[in-house]
A and B are shown apart, each in its own frame.
Chain A
Amino acid sequence: MSKTDEKPLKKVCIICAKGTIEDVYATLVLANGAVMEGIEARVFFTFFGLDAITKSQMKKLHTATVGNPALRMPGGIPFPSLLGILPGVEAGVSAMMKSQMEKLDIPPVDEFLEMITAGGGEIYACKLAMDMFKLKKEDLWEGVSGVLTVGEFYGMCGGENTQIIFT
Chain B
Amino acid sequence: MAEKVIAGKTVQVNDEGYFTDPSQWTKEMAAEMAKEYGIELTDKHYQVIDFLRERYLAGEALTIRRVGNSGIVDIKGLYQLFPGGPLKISSKLAGIPKPASCV
Enumerate chain B residues within 8 angstroms of A37, measured Cβ to Cβ.
84-85, 88
Enumerate chain B residues within 8 angstroms of A35, measured Cβ to Cβ.
79
Query: B25-33, B39-47, B58-66: which one contacts chain A?
Result: B58-66
Question: How far is it, in angstroms, between the C-alpha of A106 and the C-alpha of B68 when the chains are bound?
Answer: 13
Q: Residues of B within 8 Å of A, CB-based: how many?
A: 20
Question: How far is it, in angstroms, between the C-alpha of A127 and the C-alpha of B12 when the chains are bound?
Answer: 53
Contact B65 A118 (CB under 8 A): no
Enumerate chain B residues within 8 angstroms of A106, measured Cβ to Cβ.
103
Contact B85 A119 (CB under 8 A): no
- A122 CB to closest chain B CB (Å) equals 14
Q: Residues of A within 8 Å of B, CB-based: how many?
A: 17
Contact B75 A118 (CB under 8 A): yes
Question: How far is it, in angstroms, between the C-alpha of A29 and the C-alpha of B63 when the chains are bound?
Answer: 12
Whether a CB of chain A sits under 8 angstroms from the CB of B87 is yes
Question: How far is it, in angstroms, between the C-alpha of A37 and the C-alpha of B101 when the chains are bound?
Answer: 12
Whether a CB of chain B sits under 8 angstroms from the CB of A78 is no
Closest to A116 in B: B75
What are 22 A-B pairs with beta-carbon distances under 8 A?
A29-B102, A33-B103, A36-B64, A36-B85, A36-B86, A36-B87, A37-B84, A37-B88, A38-B83, A38-B85, A104-B103, A105-B65, A105-B66, A105-B103, A107-B65, A114-B75, A115-B64, A115-B75, A118-B74, A118-B75, A118-B78, A119-B86
Q: Mark A111-142, 1 if CB is under 8 A from B, else 0.
A: 10011001110000000000000000000000
- Contact residue among A29, A104, A111, A119 (Cβ-Cβ distance under 8 Å from B79): A119
Enumerate chain B residues within 8 angstroms of A38, measured Cβ to Cβ.
83-85
Closest to A107 in B: B65
Whether a CB of chain A sits under 8 angstroms from the CB of B76 is yes
Question: How far is it, in angstroms, between the C-alpha of A104 and the C-alpha of B66 when the chains are bound?
Answer: 11
Question: How far is it, in angstroms, between the C-alpha of A115 and the C-alpha of B74 when the chains are bound?
Answer: 9
Lowest 5 A-B CB distances belong to which pairs?
Answer: A38-B84, A118-B76, A118-B75, A105-B63, A119-B79
Enumerate chain B residues within 8 angstroms of A119, measured Cβ to Cβ.
75-76, 79, 86
Closest to B84 in A: A38
Q: Mark A91-111, 1 if CB is under 8 A from B, else 0.
A: 000000000000011110001
Question: How far is it, in angstroms, between the C-alpha of A120 and the C-alpha of B52 when the chains are bound?
Answer: 23
Whether a CB of chain B sits under 8 angstroms from the CB of A46 is no
- B90 CB to closest chain A CB (Å) equals 11
